[in-house]
Structure formats: structure tokens, C-alpha cells
Structure 1
């Protein structure tokens, strides 16, 4: 596991290091959930729904 030290910016922003962005295929405007587990912050990428996914409300009349 690679370890990086980053600094929080004035507006509370952080930058994910390029090495991690490339490895995890993180693109501009990707969505993440952030979990706070007693001070351990975990970022979880929100996967885009498959294009073939049909919303449930289309099955209900």
C-alpha cells in the first residue's frame, strides 16, 4: 500500500495524487462517498450504473 502525505487547502479540498488517480482510473467529476471511521477517512468511488440498467419505476404502472 502506497502512502502519501497531502495538505488540505483553504476551501477544505484535497488532491488525490496522480499515481493513485491513474491506478484507480479516477476521472474529473467522478463521485465518491466519504466514510469517517473514528478518524480514518475512507473514499469509496460511486460506480456509475450500467447503461443497460432500467429504473425500477419503469416496471410499475
Structure 2
């Protein structure tokens, strides 16, 4: 396990240590997913930028885990349409 302390720059940027970039094959243009799990931030390498459809699927799965049914999810999707 490689651990490092990094400093957040003026524009919210961080520099990943060279050892980690090399170990994980990260280069300029690589994609990382950042998650906040109860105050613990994690980074995960992903192969490509997720499409909007991928993101919607993830949101749908998260809603289902929270107990939303297909019907309530569809109602949530329709709600913004009613407002416009």
C-alpha cells in the first residue's frame, strides 16, 4: 500500500505522487472517479469517461437501494417536465 499526503492547490487541484501514477498507469487525460463515503474520499481509476446513460443507471441503482420503486423513479423523472 502506498500512502502519501498531498496539498490542495489554489484551484482545487492535487498532484498524485509519481509512484502511484506509474503503478496505476495514470497519464494526462486519464479518468478517476472520486467518491465521498462518510467523509472518506476515494479515487478509482476508470477506463473511459462515463456516458450520461451510465450515470443515469448508477443513479437509478442508488435510488433502488434506498427503497424507491420503478414507478416512483419514473415519477421523479417526470417532475421537472411538469415545471417547464
Bigger shift: 33-42 or 11-20? 33-42
Partner of 1:7: 7
For structure 2, the residue ranges without an aligned partner over 5 or more in a row are: 49-84
Write out per-residue CA displacement over residues 11-54 of structure 1, whole angstroms, 9 at most, x where no aligned residue: 00000000000011001101111110111111111114xxxxxx
Using CA pairs below 8 Å that are at least 6 residues apart, which structure has the higher relative contact order? 1
4+ residue segments displaced more than 6 Å:
none
Partner of 1:28: 28
Of structures 1 and 2, the larger Rg is shown by: 2
TM score, norm. by length of structure 1: 0.72
For structure 1, the residue ranges without an aligned partner over 5 or more in a row are: 49-61
Partner of 2:38: 38
The structure with more helix, counted as a fraction of residues: 2
- Could you say what secondary structure the match of 1:23 adopts? helix
